[in-house]
């Protein structure tokens, strides 16, 4: 398995993985209408292209030429990184791929001098426990109005990379 930096030509692959991953992940949390709204809001070609042209780095998880997932992150402050997205093909869950992604992101963060990695995760997503196993803590709760009467009801989770005294 390898992590390859994604570019604009990879947008259709990212969209396909998102489409495949979202319903198993959020089907018990979000209505189909909200899922469709959010997929369009977050994964339209224009949105992804703008993000890729900004300071957000996108990576594909690839094995034997087959894309298995994607993730994106950005250094938002000199000592802080935001893990924006991490999604895997549902067939890849519980195979250690997510843990390897987090290790890759941590290494990138430490090389950049980052002391904290933050991410948002839906409060009812089983990934909360995954992140906690890897050392993330629930730093705060956040309800974000995303329009059309929908909200994102998330934990902001944080991983401290600074050495403890």
The answer to the question of residue 46 being in a domain is: yes
What is the domain-level CATH number for residue 67?
3.40.630.30
pLDDT tens readout for residues 36-58? 999 999 999 999 999 999 999 99
Q: How far apart are CA 25 and CA 113, in angstroms?
A: 32
Task: Report the pLDDT value the prediction gives residue 94, as an integer from 0 to 100.
Answer: 76
The confidence score (pLDDT) of residue 164 equals 65
Could you tell me if residue 118 is inside a domain?
A: no
**How many structural domains does the chain have?**
1
For 109-163, what is each residue's pLDDT tens digit? Answer: 999 999 999 999 999 999 999 999 999 999 999 999 999 999 999 999 999 998 7
CB 160 within 8 A of CB 116: yes
In terms of residue numbers, what domain contains 34? 2-113
Asked whether residue 91 is assigned to any structural domain, the reply reads yes
In a domain, 146, yes or no: no
pLDDT digits (tens, 9 = 90+) for 74-93: 999 999 999 999 999 988 87
Residue 150 lies in a domain: no
User: Who's near 81: CB < 8 A, 6+ residues apart?
Assistant: 73, 74, 75, 105, 108, 109, 112, 114, 116, 117, 118
């Amino acid at each position: 398995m390898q992590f390859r930096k994604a570019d604009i030509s990879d947008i259709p692959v990212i969209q396909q993985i998102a489409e495949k991953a979202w319903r198993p992940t959020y089907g018990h949390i979000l209505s189909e209408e909200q899922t469709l709204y959010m997929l369009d809001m977050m994964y339209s070609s224009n949105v992804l292209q703008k993000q890729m042209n900004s300071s957000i780095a996108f990576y594909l998880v690839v094995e034997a030429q087959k894309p298995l997932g994607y993730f994106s992150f950005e250094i938002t402050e000199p000592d802080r990184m935001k893990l924006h997205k991490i999604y895997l093909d549902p067939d890849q869950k519980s195979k250690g791929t997510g843990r390897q992604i987090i290790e890759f992101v941590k290494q990138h963060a430490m090389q950049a001098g980052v002391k904290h990695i933050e991410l948002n995760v839906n409060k009812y997503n089983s990934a909360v426990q995954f992140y906690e196993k890897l050392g993330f803590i629930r730093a705060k709760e956040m309800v974000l109005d995303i329009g059309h009467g929908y909200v994102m009801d998330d934990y902001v989770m944080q991983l401290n990379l600074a050495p403890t005294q």
